[in-house]
Amino acid sequence: MALGAAVLCLSVVYTLMSSNRHNVPVSSPQRPEKQSKDPLKIDPLNDLDWRAVEPAKYRPFKPIYHITMALKADTPSELITVDTDYLDRVSLRRQIISQHGALVHGCLPSGVEAVRELYHFLLHDHLPARFPTMFQLRDQGRQFENLVTGQTFPTDVPDDPAAALRILSETVEEDMFLLVGEPEGHRAVAFQCCFPSGFDPSSKVGKLLKEIHAPVPSYDKIGPSMERFFGKIEVGKNVKRTNWGIQTDGNLFHYERHDEPTSDAPLAAEAETDMSQAYARIELQTLSRLPKTRAVLFSFKTYLYSLRQLKEEGLGPQVADAIEGLKTGNAPGMWNYKGAPQWAEPVCRYLRA
């Protein structure tokens, strides 16, 4: 009896985890033909038509906010995601890099080797193997061709690490930080981040995890376990987590702090009526270890879901509860940190209407 219940439980958990991998539609021929047993082997999506892949739907709204690591196992194959937004997103990233330059990408001397490894790994190994209908190697592996954008890049790493980071930024939608372990903790040594959610990415390079998270309320509750966990990440044993926030515009580039406005005044009446411009912003974050330099890669893809869409799904009250639950959990400072005083009142009213 107990064994039966355990098996049932496990199969439910497995089903839930599998159905959460939305990057590939469940019944589509784009699914990998068979799962690999080699943890570093990439399962190819041989017939993928990226234009037909709907963006994944993450709905991590809980009634009370607790700051936790909440990591789940992930596979190396799922490091990079693509969907119907791919071309628009990478085109936007190219514009953001040309406009904002060193604000959105950079590398310390101690990060050069990790950037070189990441560049070659993604352009030469990962992307052409995982997405053969989008990326192909040419000239005996010396050139990487992006069939979607028409761009070609050498698979040999450019001498300038910033150039390598720019190419990565406009090839994948994921923002990335590379960290190296030091006696004091893990330090960010390189980044490309075109879609920051209320922080200046360039201000984080050179900093330790605890310094990076200095503005995050109650970070001390998870900081020490994060450091321990980062030290133990194994090659091929990727993990993932999600976060969420609310924003009252559709911009992906949010460099200014979301808790910056000092007034507690709620949104102006006109903004209140334009909820078509309000979004839940969710990041799918992954952590993995590069095998040669052993740097930790923190990579995240940003999703925007309109509040109207969430309401249509019947999730309005659940999202409103989650917003109000920001102040009732183990990190009540999240209410201010996430900028809730500016928008929570009209947003919750709209979500519950």
- Interacting residues with ligand HEM (CB under 6 A): 67, 69, 177, 179, 188, 198-199, 204, 212-213, 215-216, 222, 226, 243, 298
Residue 97's nearest CA partner among 236, 3, 202 is 202
The CB-of-96 to ligand HEM minimum distance in angstroms stands at 17
The CB-of-5 to ligand HEM minimum distance in angstroms stands at 32
The CB-of-179 to ligand HEM minimum distance in angstroms stands at 6
The CB-of-62 to ligand HEM minimum distance in angstroms stands at 12
- Sheet of strand 152-154, all strands in order from the earlier edge strand to the far edge: 135-138, 143-146, 152-154
The CB-of-320 to ligand HEM minimum distance in angstroms stands at 18
Choice between 215 and 250, CB closer to ligand HEM: 215
Choice between 123 and 222, CB closer to ligand HEM: 222
The CB-of-246 to ligand HEM minimum distance in angstroms stands at 11
Choice between 185 and 198, CB closer to ligand HEM: 198
The CB-of-1 to ligand HEM minimum distance in angstroms stands at 38
Choice between 161 and 198, CB closer to ligand HEM: 198
Residue 89's nearest CA partner among 131, 157, 24, 148 is 148
